[in-house]
Amino acid sequence: MPRPERKLTPAEKKQASEVSLRRIGGLFTGHRWSLSLVVLIIVASSIISMASPFLLRAVIDRALPHADLTLLVWLVLGMVAVAAVTAALGVVQTWISTSVGQQVMHRLRADVFTHLQRQSIGFFTRTRTGEVQSRITNDIGGMEAVVTSTATSIAANLTTAIATLVAMAALSWQLSLVSLAVLPPAIWLSRRVARMRREITAQRQRELADLNVTIEEGLSISGVQLSKTMGTAPALIDRFTASSRRLIDLELRSELAGRWRMASMSIVFAAIPAVIYLAAGLPFSHLSIGTLVAFTALQAGLFRPLLGLMSVGVQLTSSLALFARIFEYLDLPVEIQEPAQPTPMKNPRGHLRFEDVTFAYGGSEIAAVAGVTLDVPAGTSLALVGETGSGKSTIAALIARLYDPTAGRVTIDGVDLREMSLADVASIVGVVSQETYLLHTSVRENLRYARPDATDEQIEAAARAARIHDVIAALPDGYDTTVGSRGHRFSGGEKQRIAIARTLLRDPRILVLDEATSALDNRTERAVQRAFDELSRGRTTVTIAHRLSTIRDADQIVLVDRGRVVESGTHDALVGAGGRYAALAA
């Protein structure tokens, strides 16, 4: 179903209005010398260009009436020199300002991406993928013109306007007062137009985000398969078309907002020269023809930067909505913090402990894990069993520090995970889950993703250990075969074995297998289980499984219910106890 146009909430309007111009200016920290040079070039260019009207007046009032050819030649050469110097300065100024702007854009994109990489899994479960992509591409892209040209446009237009005003006053201060009578209403109008465009811009960016979500959901391989099997393609097309149509309306409203008001001001600006000519013709006026022509030329040169300043003001104000959306992401708190002084982990053994661990997902009052205590000596195996939603996967996520405990602590070799660097946690703990994610690149690069410095021989050895080498070697391009979006070229079991080979390359001391075979048929499961046996050898292993046949030989089996450990022991001991595990095993 097409979605209605999304309106800004009062909170979103307030957020957009409170974006600090000082914070925006802070993006240019580190470029002060370059910007100072740009300002000097702009000032020099504006001052030099002010010589043209005075040269023109001399041509009209002195050189031409007195037929002074020598003076005329020098004045014309002066005009050409002024134009050449200002053009050259303009090229240099554009190069420097654009370079600074692009560096700021690069840093902003990198900062947002880096900050989002530091966010917990909880953020990404709450946020649509298309929304994140839209903010990095559409919102930052929409800010490009503001970042790269706004500061220099303000400086150039302001400097030109001031220099022009000084020159006009030098020619005739009375006519200058007549010319400036239009400024107050022009400023008032530009402020009103800016407020209109700011709200429209915010709506447009949110609609772009919705469009991105539709594209991501409808054109990914999983989304296409779902739409084809469910027959929802027409509805998706209608949804996309409606969103695109709303974008047309928002773009038109953004471009036309206040256009008639600004057009009326342009008419007034154009009428001012006529008023000047009328004033020059009054009996008490004693202006020379050259002064009149030079003054009207200056006046035209004044209105251009004034209109430019108003246009930049409108653009800057409307872009505050974009800055608000980007700063909102940059201000997100980092839930999984890197320790200030991490404890070094040299030659970890892999002794895993849960010490009275409790964890609740954000916004929930019900603990997903409550008072769990576990001790898994290095090199042993632990199996977690229980009904869906009992907390098994949450325990696995805590081991990989995808979340931090609300209370208690998780340790490896006696060191709290929160005291270890995130890189150390990732190198010590390896996770293979049911939902294997493969990148849209070659098999070789998918494996090397876990260890960029791995040689081809090491990659092939890992694939052999995972029982997947023969399958890869039989492909047309072998290890250079592109796996396709999300690995859809391969079956579920083949993807699992590629994931196992990838984990083998990392050589983690602790291995977490999160229901990694639950979606496989019996034959494929046996093949994958043999690869798991190879992967688990000599490592501390935590296995989550629904099929008890895969975990019968675990050193410990723990039954989890509603986030609590209710039974623990070996398979034989638990069956002999005749409790809930025994009922499951029956």
- The 3-state secondary structure of 4-21, one letter per residue: CCCCCCHHHHHHHHCCCH
Distance of CA 433 to the CA centre of its chain: 27
Q: Which amino acid is at 68?
A: D
Higher pLDDT, 203 or 83: 83
pLDDT of residue 521: 64
Higher pLDDT, 207 or 314: 207
pLDDT of 349 above 50: yes
* pLDDT tens-digit readout, 484-506: 666 667 777 788 888 888 888 88
> What average pLDDT does range 24-29 have in this prediction?
78
> What average pLDDT does range 48-52 have in this prediction?
79
pLDDT of residue 565: 92
Fold adopted by 18-330: ABC transporter transmembrane region fold (1.20.1560)
- Tell which residue, 248, 140, 239, 238, has the closest CA to residue 204: 248
Q: To the nearest 10°, the Cα dihedral for 293, 296, 301, 305?
A: 170
Q: Are 117 and 331 in contact, with CB atoms under 8 Å apart?
A: no
pLDDT of 163 above 50: yes
Distance in angstroms (rounded) separating the CA atoms of residues 573 and 557: 10
Residue 71 CB neighbour total at 10 angstroms? 15
pLDDT of 9 above 60: no
pLDDT of 442 above 80: yes
Pull the structure tokens for residue 64.
């031409």
pLDDT of 580 above 90: no
Q: To the nearest 10°, the Cα dihedral for 570, 574, 575, 580?
A: -140
Distance in angstroms (rounded) separating the CA atoms of residues 125 and 190: 42
**Angle in degrees, 0-180, between the axes of helices 289-330 and 183-219, rounded to the nearest 10:** 40
- 151-178 burial, b at 16+ Cβ within 10 Å, e below that, comes to bbbbbbbbbbbebbbebbeebbeebbee
> What average pLDDT does range 11-21 have in this prediction?
54
Q: Are 382 and 350 in contact, with CB atoms under 8 Å apart?
A: no
Q: Are 448 and 459 in contact, with CB atoms under 8 Å apart?
A: yes
pLDDT of residue 224: 59
Q: State which of 30-44, 201-215, 289-303 shows the largest mean pLDDT.
A: 30-44
Residue with tokens 């800004």: 8
Distance in angstroms (rounded) separating the CA atoms of residues 35 and 104: 12
Choice among 91-95, 101-105, 440-444, 524-528 with the minimum mean pLDDT: 524-528
Q: Which residues contact 425 (CB under 8 A, 6 or more apart)?
A: 400, 401, 417
Give whole-number Cα distances, 76 to 53, 168, 299, 355, 422, in Å: 12, 21, 21, 88, 70
Domain boundaries, the chain: 18-330, 352-585
Backbone angles phi, psi at 277, to 5 degrees: -65, -40
Angle at 569 between CA 568 and CA 571, to 5 degrees: 120
Pull the structure tokens for residue 434.
């049911």
pLDDT of residue 6: 43
DSSP code at position 454:
-
Residue 532 CB neighbour total at 10 angstroms? 24
> What average pLDDT does range 530-546 have in this prediction?
80
Equal CATH topology for 18-330 and 352-585 = no
Distance in angstroms (rounded) separating the CA atoms of residues 551 and 54: 93
Distance in angstroms (rounded) separating the CA atoms of residues 368 and 361: 7
Residue with tokens 């991105």: 212
pLDDT of 463 above 80: yes
Report the SS3 class of residue 232. coil
Q: What is the architecture, at CATH level 2, of domain 352-585?
A: 3-Layer(aba) Sandwich (3.40)
**Percent of the chain whose predicted confidence (pLDDT) is above 90:** 12
Distance in angstroms (rounded) separating the CA atoms of residues 298 and 414: 78
Choice among 26-30, 335-339, 524-528 with the minimum mean pLDDT: 524-528
Pull the structure tokens for residue 550.
């895969």
pTM over 0.75: no
pLDDT of residue 28: 80
Average pLDDT score, the chain: 78
Q: How buried is residue 403: exposed, middle or buried, by Cβ count under 10 Å (0-12/13-18/19+)?
A: buried
Strands 369-376 and 352-359: antiparallel
pLDDT of residue 498: 85
Backbone angles phi, psi at 369, to 5 degrees: -135, 130
pLDDT of 17 above 50: no
* pLDDT tens-digit readout, 269-319: 666 666 666 666 655 556 667 666 776 766 666 666 766 666 666 667 667
Distance in angstroms (rounded) separating the CA atoms of residues 50 and 177: 19
